[in-house]
Amino acid sequence: MILAPLAVIPDAQGRGVGGLLLRTGMRLLRDRGIRLVFLAGHPGYYLRHGFVPARAHGFTPPFPVTPEEAWMVRPLEADAPGGTGGDVRCADAMNKAEHWRE
């Protein structure tokens, strides 16, 4: 599943809201049996939440993501992202190149 985009209004940033949204989103996905969560976002922020670059694990994004490391994945189970890889597709609402540019 893709969990993005995520944004917190500037006045409310830095108070843990982004982290709470991320953890809650991942818990809801885990409860639905989802094993991998993907997103395109600032690597510096998401690395601290357990995400790693997804291309290194063989997963390609629906549209090009720049920088490449911003396309990230995190396993929701104890296992690693897995050796299978593959093309990740997104929901129709996000299926336009302009939604994948910063």
Q: Which residues bind ligand COA (CB under 6 A)?
A: 4-8, 13-19, 41-42, 44-45
- C-beta of 37: minimal distance to ligand COA in Å? 13
Of 46 and 59, nearer to ligand COA (C-beta) is 46
- C-beta of 21: minimal distance to ligand COA in Å? 7
Closest alpha carbon to 49 in 69, 29, 27, 74: 74
Closest alpha carbon to 2 in 32, 25, 31: 25
Of 16 and 77, nearer to ligand COA (C-beta) is 16
With contact defined as beta carbons under 8 Å apart, do 69 and 53 qualify?
yes
Of 78 and 93, nearer to ligand COA (C-beta) is 93
Between CA 79 and CA 13, with CA 1 as vertex, the angle to 5 degrees is: 100
